[in-house]
Structure 1
């Protein structure tokens, strides 16, 4: 089975995904970002698609001009380990030869917990905001409770017809993941473009600039250690061909 470039984003809510792998590479410069994406495409298209249980593999280019974010869907952890044991090193060696100095910063394992797509909007994302949250140690129940608290904030106060989601023009979907040990949560938020996300970030949060109570509960959630937001542009999506 061959690998092929897909023209649409991966379906992050598709059934049959047992584990999601998210990794970050630092390649050093915008030129190296472009070269690395091209090298990844060559390395994957010149080989058969892994038959170990890989469902999709996508690469995103960081707005920082240095990083790449990799998002892959697997049927289960065993499928990923089989790929690592038999196929990953050869691909990485080819990429490293084309783009010297790649630093692989971290790799995390997640499953998708909750998603919030914008109904009736089939536009493809031009920008992705990656919100990464660290907790004070593992605990999947706590991480899921934090995600539920975010959803409650997105819905707005009880009885309010138009919550914050109504003014988020350009928002396509938000996909909340929880790490397998519960020490991290990740929201992969898809936007029409970076300007739409920037406008949301800069919009007033409440009367006189006050943070609404439901969002204070998100930011002051017990056990929340840190969070960061990084923005990426979709660059490459791969899947199984014929």
Structure 2
């Protein structure tokens, strides 16, 4: 599929051979620290060998500049766990030397449960991540698409909804809050 706009849409980057999706938010506190952490992790990923079973990783930045959402796709849980044991500590250690004090409350290991793409052509400027997932977004005017991921643990489902821009999100009654974070696309690593 050809990407015809600068920000790839989720339906363009989700790989059919993905066995597990990982969602992880890093709290960095400020826009400068967020950019520095995002650049550091991008450098680490591009400098090293691609781990076996790693399919894709995309980074999104909080619109308020306080953190990073990692959206990673792996062939299997086992492939990711092997990377986490053997390689991840060194990668994270180097990032932490550059940007100390990053908060990492953990990752969510998920599977894509369902998706609804209402408009697959328009560019998405905002990604709203809601926990727990709510069925209203899938039918809310202005939402370009919604992707519900269910956790492999007993935690709540997570919804990633694409919106054209902040104005469309707010016009549909969307508001950030404790259960909703808003992001803009940053880059793939």
TM-superposition CA deviations, 1:174-201 (whole Å, max 9, x none): 0001111242110001112222111112
Which structure has more relative contact order (CA 8 Å, sep 6+)? It is 1
Q: 1:233 to 1:7 in 2, by over 3 A?
A: closer
User: What is the aligned partner in structure 1 of residue 55 from structure 2?
Assistant: 55
CA shift, 1:124, in A, is 3.3
Q: Does 1:231 align with 2:182?
A: yes
Hey, what's the Cα distance between the residues in 2 that align with 1:236 and 1:24? Answer: 15
User: What is the aligned partner in structure 1 of residue 101 from structure 2?
Assistant: 101
CA RMSD in angstroms comes to: 2.4
Is the 2:137–2:146 contact (alpha carbons within 8 Å) kept by the matching residues of 1? no
Is the 2:54–2:79 contact (alpha carbons within 8 Å) kept by the matching residues of 1? yes
Q: Does 1:192 align with 2:143?
A: no
TM-superposition CA deviations, 1:87-107 (whole Å, max 9, x none): 212211221111111111221
Hey, what's the Cα distance between the residues in 1 that align with 2:46 and 2:110? Answer: 26
User: What is the aligned partner in structure 1 of residue 20 from structure 2?
Assistant: 19
Q: Does 1:88 align with 2:88?
A: yes
CA shift, 1:57, in A, is 0.5
CA shift, 1:59, in A, is 1.1
Q: Secondary structure at the match of 1:104?
A: coil
Q: Does 1:75 align with 2:70?
A: no
Larger radius of gyration: 1
Q: 1:76 to 1:88 in 2, by over 3 A?
A: same
Is the 1:13–1:115 contact (alpha carbons within 8 Å) kept by the matching residues of 2? no
Is the 2:124–2:162 contact (alpha carbons within 8 Å) kept by the matching residues of 1? yes
4+ long deviations beyond 3 Å: 9-13
CA shift, 1:233, in A, is 1.0
TM-superposition CA deviations, 1:88-132 (whole Å, max 9, x none): 12211221111111111221111000000124x323322100001
CA shift, 1:12, in A, is 5.4
CA shift, 1:9, in A, is 4.3
Count of residues in Structure 1 that have an aligned counterpart in Structure 2: 181
User: What is the aligned partner in structure 2 of residue 35 from structure 1?
Assistant: 36
For structure 2, list consecutive stretches of 5 or more residues without a partner in the other structure: 1-5
